[in-house]
Structure 1
C-alpha cells in the first residue's frame, strides 16, 4: 500500500501510497495523483499560504504552508529579486532533481509546479536544525536508536545521489557550514531524514566509471573553512579568491563532512561515547586529505548499518 510512519501527536499510524514518476501521494491519500500543473493549481485552488519563518526559507525562495484538497502542502515561490537567469536556472535544476529522484522516499516529494512556484509535501517538524527542540518535546525518541538512525539516513541519502543515476553523481555545494547543510534536510514525524533543498546540488558526469571533476559554480564563495574538504580550500593564500583558478574536485567533498554531521545528530556525550568508538576507523578514512583514499558512501553506509545491528544486540543500550 505505501510507507507507514508513526504520527507523534496522537499516536496514530498514517500511510501514503508509493507513486511512480509523474505522480504524488500524501499521507492520508489512498491513491496517487498526477503532479499538479498551472491549471490544477488555479482551478482546485491552493489556499495559502502561512509563511514559514525566513530562517528556514533560503535566499532564493519564499516558503509557506498551504492547503490542497484539505491536505497540508508547502508552497515555494522564487523571490522576485531572484528572477535572473542564474537563479531561474538553479530553481529549474532543483525541480528536475525532485522529478528525477521522485521514486526515492528520502527525497522531498514534488506535488506540482507552475512557472516560478512549486508545491511539495509538508513535514510538520520542519528542518533538521529543529532537532533538539523536538527531542525536548518528544523525550521518548531522544535515544541512541533515533539519533544514530539520523546518521544512517544522512549517509543513505548521500548514496542515492552518488549512485550515478543518469550517468551523473551529485554533491552538495550549498553547505559551507553545518547549519546551512542541516537546513536542507527535513525531519519526518518519526524522526527520519528527507532532503528538501536540492537546488544547489551539482552534477558530476561519469566518464569511464569515474566522476569528472569540476568546481562548485558559486562565483563569490571561498570554501576555505574546516567543515569543507581540503580540496575545496583556496590553495593560493597570497592571492584573492578566483573561481577560474580553483582546482576541480568531485563528489568526495561530501564524504569529508559525514563525521561532523553524525556527531551533531548524536548530540549527547554519553551517546557519542557509546557509538563513536565503533565509527573511529571509517570516520578517520572520511577525513583523509587525499579524496581518493576516502571511502565511498556505500561503504560508510554498510559500516553504519553493521554498527547499528551490533549495538542493538545489546538491548540494555536502547
Structure 2
C-alpha cells in the first residue's frame, strides 16, 4: 500500500519526512495501553521523544476491515477532520497522538481553560456537525458509532442509512451545552431544528449540511 503522509508534527532528527515504517519500530517504546477491543489494541508509544499512537490488529479475521479503515483515512488526509496517519508496518498503523482524547473528556477539559459559556460550548456542537457533514458528503460514508440509537435501528432487519446520525445530533449537542444558560432566541431555534432531527420518519429529517447552516446562524446571532 502506497502512503503519502507527513511527519511535520513530530520533532525529527532526520531530514526526510517520509512515513514511519518497520525500521522505526525498534525505537518505539510502549507508554500505556489506550484501548483494546475485538479487532485491535491501541497503544501510546514513545518514538525518539515523540508521543505517537500505534493501532495493532489482534484478530486476523478483521484484517480486511482494519486496512479498509486505513485506506479511507489515507484518502482524506488533507482534511483536518481526519486522524493523521504517520505510517504502518505489517498489522500496525501509526497515528498522530491527540492528548485531549475523545469528546467524552470534554467536560473535564473545558474548566481548565475557563470555557463555561454557552458560546464556548456551542462551538463544539458545530464541530461535531461539521464532522458528520464531512463524512456524509465524502465517499467515506459511515454511521457514527455510539450508545445513542435511532428508532429505525431498534427493529431487527429494518433498513437504515446515514439519517440515523441526524437523529443523534440533538442528544450530543444537549450533552455538550448542559449546565449552561442558553439565550431564549437560541433555545427557540435549537428546539425547532432538533425537533426536525427527531422526526420518526427518517426522510423528513434535515441533512447534516442543513443542521450546520442553522447552527452557524445561532452562533452568528450570539453577542
TM-score (norm 1): 0.62
Which structure 2 segments of 5+ residues have no match? none
Structure 2 distance, partners of 1:282, 1:34, is: 45
SS of 1:62's equivalent in the other structure is strand
Moved over 3 A (4+): 25-32, 271-276
1:181-200 paired onto structure 2 within 5 Å: none
SS of 1:248's equivalent in the other structure is coil
1:283 aligned residue: 194
> Structure 2 vs 1, CA of residues 35 and 117 (structure 1 numbering), >3 Å: closer, same or farther?
same
> Structure 2 vs 1, CA of residues 146 and 106 (structure 1 numbering), >3 Å: closer, same or farther?
farther
Contact 1:266 1:272 survives alignment (8 Å): no
> Structure 2 vs 1, CA of residues 275 and 73 (structure 1 numbering), >3 Å: closer, same or farther?
farther
> Structure 2 vs 1, CA of residues 32 and 103 (structure 1 numbering), >3 Å: closer, same or farther?
farther
SS of 1:249's equivalent in the other structure is coil
> Structure 2 vs 1, CA of residues 292 and 143 (structure 1 numbering), >3 Å: closer, same or farther?
same
Q: Does 1:112 find its partner at 2:93?
A: no
1:37 aligned residue: 21
1:29-68 paired onto structure 2 within 5 Å: 33-39=17-23, 41-42=24-25, 45-54=26-35, 57-68=36-47
Structure 1 distance, partners of 2:217, 2:105, is: 28
1:98 aligned residue: 73
Structure 2 distance, partners of 1:25, 1:151, is: 30
1:210 aligned residue: none
Structure 2 distance, partners of 1:262, 1:32, is: 42
1:28 CA displacement: 5.7
1:70 aligned residue: 49
Per-residue CA deviations over 1:125-180 (Å, capped at 9, x if unaligned) read 112111222233x1422332331111111100111111143xx63322x32x1xxx
Contact 1:48 1:64 survives alignment (8 Å): no
Structure 2 distance, partners of 1:32, 1:157, is: 31
Structure 1 distance, partners of 2:161, 2:78, is: 25
- Higher helix proportion (structure 1 or 2): 2
- Higher strand proportion (structure 1 or 2): 1
Contact 2:118 2:180 survives alignment (8 Å): no
Q: Does 1:228 find its partner at 2:149?
A: yes
Structure 1 distance, partners of 2:45, 2:85, is: 14
Contact 1:99 1:110 survives alignment (8 Å): yes
In the comparison of the two structures, how many residue pairs are matched? 219
Contact 2:54 2:92 survives alignment (8 Å): yes
> Structure 2 vs 1, CA of residues 270 and 291 (structure 1 numbering), >3 Å: closer, same or farther?
same
SS of 2:114's equivalent in the other structure is helix
2:179 aligned residue: 268
1:104 CA displacement: 0.8
Contact 1:62 1:77 survives alignment (8 Å): yes
1:184 aligned residue: none
What is the RMSD computed on CA atoms of the aligned residues? 2.4
2:211 aligned residue: 300
SS of 1:141's equivalent in the other structure is coil
Contact 1:23 1:32 survives alignment (8 Å): no
